[in-house]
Amino acid sequence: DTAVSQTPKYLVTQMGNDKSIKCEQNLGHDTMYWYKQDSKKFLKIMFSYNNKELIINETVPNRFSPKSPDKAHLNLHINSLELGDSAVYFCASSQEGSTDTQYFGPGTRLTVL
Amino acid sequence: SQQGEEDPQALSIQEGENATMNCSYKTSINNLQWYRQNSGRGLVHLILIRSNEREKHSGRLRVTLDTSKKSSSLLITASRAADTASYFCATGPLSGSRLTFGEGTQLTVNP
């Protein structure tokens, strides 16, 4: 069974559209994250949730809105997509705090045309 | 500027050789972690070393930590073609709530 799963794996869309990426973890972890990896492989944290509560919210445009219906799921909704949003988005989870070992999903490659 | 900076940015070696990657950071840490990312995949945790530890081993991996120099190294011994990947260090700060990842070292092991 996959520990951290994301859907879809690839997402190609037009500028201005709204899209969502879903993430689920079956590890029983309390903390989940969204990261953005750019074309140079630089990985930057976007959001972190602990037991459905937002604990980290980096300076991300408010077009990005995370939603955690329960502690096993953390979805990312993006409004009014822009060219600069093209990247690979990774979901991750950890058992304890945000500096604990993190388990990553396979990533969602978003391409905005 | 980045908390963790890897050196070198790219490393190409022959199978069987050892590979050493370095990571430097700026602020005090609680722990330092190394992750591997194969092309098109998510990051996989390799090893975590705490600030009060100096060396840690896991299979063919050896990690050292020098808090006085704010640096860490990852040694992969007897490398294999399957070790080809990007390797990232990530620092967990003493006071802070997130890991900060470096920019990675791209390791290529030629068969």
Closest CA to A30 of A60, A65, A74: A74
Write down the domain spans for chain B.
5-93
B5-93: CATH superfamily: Immunoglobulins (2.60.40.10)
d(CA B2, nearest CA chain A) in Å: 10
- The string of pLDDT tens digits covering residues B4-43 is 678 889 999 999 999 999 999 998 899 999 999 999 999 9
Mean pLDDT of A37-56: 89
Partner-chain contact B42 A90, CB within 8 Å: yes
Which residues partner with B10 through β-bridges? B106
What confidence score (pLDDT) does residue A109 get? 97
How far A83 CA lies from chain B's nearest CA (Å)?
21
pLDDT in tens, A49-88: 888 888 888 878 999 999 999 989 999 999 999 999 999 9
Nearest to A23 by CA among A104, A102, A112: A104
The confidence score (pLDDT) of residue B96 equals: 67
- Decide if B98 and A105 are in contact by the 8 Å CB cutoff: no
Is A89's Cβ below 8 Å from some Cβ in B? no
Amino acid at B15: E
B1 pLDDT more than 50: no
Residue from B106, B104, B71, B107 nearest B89 by CA: B104
Query: H or E element: which one contains B45?
Result: strand B43-50
Q: What is the average per-residue pLDDT within B44-63? A: 96
CA nearest to B48 within chain A: A101
Q: What does the pLDDT read at residue B52? A: 95
pLDDT-based confidence at residue A45 (cuts at 50, 70, 90): very high
The CA distance from A29 to the nearest CA of chain B, in Å, is: 16
More confident residue, A112 or A95: A112
Q: Does the structural domain A4-112 have CATH classification 2.60.40.10?
A: yes
Interval A8-25: pLDDT, tens:
999 999 999 999 999 999
Residues 6 or more apart whose Cβ sits within 8 Å of residue B51: B28, B29, B30, B31, B32, B65, B67, B94
pLDDT tens for B70-97 read 999 999 999 999 999 999 999 988 776 7
A31-37 and A87-94 beta bridge pairing: antiparallel
Q: Which residues of B63-101 are buried (b: 16+ CB within 10 A; e: fewer)?
A: bbbeeeebbbbbebeebeeebbbbbbbbbbbeebebbbb
pLDDT at site B3: 57
8 A C-beta contact, residue A103 and residue A3: yes
Nearest-CB residue to B97 (from A44, A55, A105): A55
